[in-house]
Every structure is written in C-alpha cells, then in structure tokens.
C-alpha cells in the first residue's frame, strides 16, 4: 500500500509540474520586493488579500485562503489521502513549490502554478489547468489546492477539503477484471 501511495504521489508531482502553466499571470510585483522602502506604485502592486490573511492555523481542517510569501509548514488533519503536512518550500512569480507528508510516512512534492488545481485523495491525485478557475467544490475524501492570486513574491493559496471518507468514484480507477482459471 505504501508503494502504491508513493507512486500516486510521484504521479501527482509529475502532472503538477508538467501540465500546469502560467496562464495569463501578469507577474505584477508587490511593489517592493527588493526592500527599498518605497511604497507600491499602484493598487495592482499592493500585497494580495486572502480571507484568512496569514493565519495558517485556519487551514487545519483543509479549508482556508492564506497569503504565502515564503517557506511555511501548514499542518492539516489528514484530508486528501491522509496529508498531515503541506510545506511550501518556494514562492515565485509563477506559483509555489511544495512537499506533502502523511502520518503513514508517505510524501510527495510538486509545483502549483497559476490557473491549475491539484486534487489529492486516498490512492492518488490529479490536476486540471486552464479555463475559468472558480474555487473548487468540496468533495468527500478530497483535498483541493489552488492559487487564487499570484504576484511576484506572494500567492494566495486556497485549500478546499470535503468530509473525511472515500473519494468520489470518478477518482477511483476501476478494478481490473481477473478471469478465473479453472483448475
């Protein structure tokens, strides 16, 4: 089971890095990434705003919207395939890099970019990119991760988790048919 979960994490990582692209992000700066003491040039250069600000404890249940501007550990209660730790390792003008860990010792990593949504669930995960990026709907057994806003040096990370339980059947691959061999 651990090998299957590790393979699923690796698959999610590959899909997150390979299929997500910077879809129309302007890369507008925060106004002062070099620390010159100057005020932002306009309202579009202002720091992003999130419903939960920088209160990462609000994410414990898997539902939050927070501003992330650098490395941070976000503790979770096991949503989306048992993820208990989401660590943001880097933030840049295209998105963020992250690692995940579970209580069972499984781990994964990837990059989430503007215009993409990642979904994690028991036994796997997936990504979708492009099109209108409305907030993901809550789905039983699924932790969705999305960027609501991307600017140079900061992102607004949105996490959406459903109730604990098995994920919807559309996320579970069908069991292969194994013919019975008469002995």
Q: Per residue in 29-57, pLDDT tens?
A: 333 333 334 444 444 557 789 999 999 99
pLDDT at position 172, please?
Answer: 79
Residues 6+ apart with CB under 8 A from 143: 62, 76, 79, 80, 81, 83, 119, 120, 121, 159, 160, 161
Q: Give residue 29's pLDDT.
A: 33
The pLDDT of residue 150: 93
Average pLDDT value for residue range 160-178: 84
| pLDDT for res 21 | 38
Percent of the chain's residues with pLDDT above 70 = 75
pLDDT higher than 60, residue 7: no
Task: Please compute the mean of the pLDDT values over residues 84-110 and round it to a whole number.
Answer: 94
Predicted TM-score (pTM) of this structure: 0.73
* pLDDT, tens digit (0-9, with 9 covering 90-100), for 145-167: 999 999 988 999 999 999 988 89
pLDDT grade, residue 110 (50/70/90)?
A: very high
**Residue count (the chain):** 183
pLDDT (0 to 100) of residue 26:
34
pLDDT of res. 24: 36
> For residues 15 and 106, which has the higher predicted lDDT (pLDDT)?
106
Predicted confidence at residue 80, as pLDDT, reads 81
pLDDT computed for residue 45 by the predictor: 59
Contacts with 107 (C-beta within 8 Å, 6 or more apart), sequence order: 6, 9, 99, 100, 101
CA–CA separation, 140 vs 28, rounded Å?
36
- Which pLDDT score is estimated for 128? 92
Mean pLDDT for all residues in the chain? 79
């Amino acid at each position: 089971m651990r090998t299957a979960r590790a393979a699923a994490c690796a698959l999610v990582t590959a899909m997150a890095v390979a299929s997500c692209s910077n879809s129309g992000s302007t890369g507008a700066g925060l106004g002062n990434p070099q620390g010159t003491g100057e005020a932002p040039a306009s309202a579009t250069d202002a720091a992003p705003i999130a419903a939960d600000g920088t209160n990462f404890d609000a994410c414990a249940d898997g539902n939050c919207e927070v501003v992330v501007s650098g490395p941070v550990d976000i503790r979770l209660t096991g949503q989306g395939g048992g993820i208990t730790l989401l660590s943001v390792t880097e933030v840049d003008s295209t998105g963020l890099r992250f690692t995940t860990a579970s209580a069972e010792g499984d781990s994964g990593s990837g990059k989430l970019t503007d215009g993409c949504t990642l979904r994690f669930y028991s036994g796997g995960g997936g990504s979708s990119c492009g099109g209108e990026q409305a907030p993901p709907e809550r789905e039983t057994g699924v932790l969705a991760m999305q960027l609501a806003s991307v600017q140079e040096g900061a992102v607004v990370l949105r996490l959406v988790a459903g109730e604990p339980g098995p994920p919807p059947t559309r996320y579970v691959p069908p069991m292969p048919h194994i013919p019975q061999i008469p002995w």
